[in-house]
Every structure is written in C-alpha cells, then in structure tokens.
Amino acid sequence: MAVRVKICGLRRAGEVAAAVGAGAAWVGFVFHPRSPRAVTPAEAGALARGVPAGVERVALTVDAADDDIDAILAAVPVDLLQLHGAESPARVAAIRARTGLPVMKAVGIAGPEDLARAADSAGVADRLLLDARPPPGAALPGGNGLAFDWRLIAGRRWPLPWMLAGGLTAGNLAEAVARTGASAVDVSSGVERTPGVKDEGRIAAFLAAAARAG
C-alpha cells in the first residue's frame, strides 16, 4: 500500500492542484504569521473550497487562541486541525471538544525524552505528527527542513494514527519509511523551490516516491 502524503504550507491554487493531482491525501494551510507559508483565513478559504471530496483539508495553528481558531473555521472548510505549538494535552482536548473537529498534535522529537510527550498527546489527540524538534532559537516550530534520528521511533507503536515529518524529500523517503514504519508522511520544505514557494515537479516526485515506498 502506498504511503499516504500530506502536502503542507500551500499558498497558491496551482500548488493545491498539483498536490491533489499527484495524489495527496491531505492538503495543509498554515495560519502562523511568522511562517513564510502563512495564509489568511480568506485566502485559505478560497483555496480549500476547490479541494475535491476525499482529500482532507488541514488547518495548522501554533498556540492559537480560541478567537483565532474561530476566525479560521468561519472562513475555511476544515477537516482536521493540526496543533503545532506547545499545546498541553488539556488544551488539545479542549480544542477538540470545543470545535468538534479531529485534532492532530505535532510533537517535536530530538531525543528519547520527547517520546513521553508523544505518549501524553496520544491520549487526547486523534492523530500524532512526529516532527523534528526545532533547534534552539529557531523562528518556526516546523518546516525547517530538518530530520530527527529515525532510530528513536523504530519499532514504536502508538494507539492512534500518526504521521512522520521533518526533512523529508523524494530522495530520503524510502529510507525514512523503512526505518520508522510510517504509513503517512507530511512534507513542506522538501517540495519547495524557496521557502513558501512549492515546486510542482518536486510535489509529483515526492508522491511518486511515496507510492514506491509503501
């Protein structure tokens, strides 16, 4: 079975069309103002309404307040909320209950100590995203093009679906899947020409690599 792919940080209609056309299972829109991939709710709404049935639309927020989440949901048809900040398990549960939407919690991994945080989030989220923990002083919590040591999660199992993220490209995807057993992956910088600008050829190559890696 092919590895399922989320393409994150989409900002243009052509990028969304390329992701959908290549077979992405999820398309992600970033609502973190400091990110070069950030979009407004109005911009994302226009993009998301053109996504066909069967492809899930993901809203990525970072430690967002309730009012900010409400503004996104008022403008964007969202299928999955991705929480990519320092949200506690209690906050994850509260957002899930308040919005009625499934929630994916991103957890930064750099060492064995981070696996406990993943386990804590597994008790309240609908899905986990295991990403590379950003280096000290990094401006962004994700999308930094960095991979973590995949051996840290080799053979690990969680009681809910999960995705692998961090430094993935068409060139290393097969190794990442073989080492981790991931059945779903998330990519952003690995399919870009420059930060915030997706490359349609790289999107196609990544999806083709995912089809081979399953």
Q: What is the DSSP letter of 52?
A: P
Contact present, 58 and 29 (Cβ < 8 Å): yes
C-alpha to C-alpha distance for 124 and 9, rounded to whole angstroms: 25
- Taken as a whole, the chain contains a residue count of 214
Q: Which two tokens stand for residue 40?
A: 């407004």
Q: Is 8 a catalytic residue?
A: yes
Catalytic residue among 67, 120, 131, 186: 131
Q: Which residue has the tokens 């970072």?
A: 62
* Sequence-separated (6 or more) residues with CB below 8 Å from residue 8: 27, 28, 30, 37, 58, 60, 143, 186, 187, 188
C-alpha distance from residue 109 to each of 13, 117, 161, 201 (Å): 32, 9, 17, 29
H or E element, residue 118: helix 114-122
Q: Which amino acid is at 24?
A: A
Q: Is 67 a catalytic residue?
A: no
Backbone angles phi, psi at 127, to 5 degrees: -155, 150
State the Cα angle at 27 between 45 and 125, rounded to 5°.
100
Catalytic positions, written as ranges: 8, 131
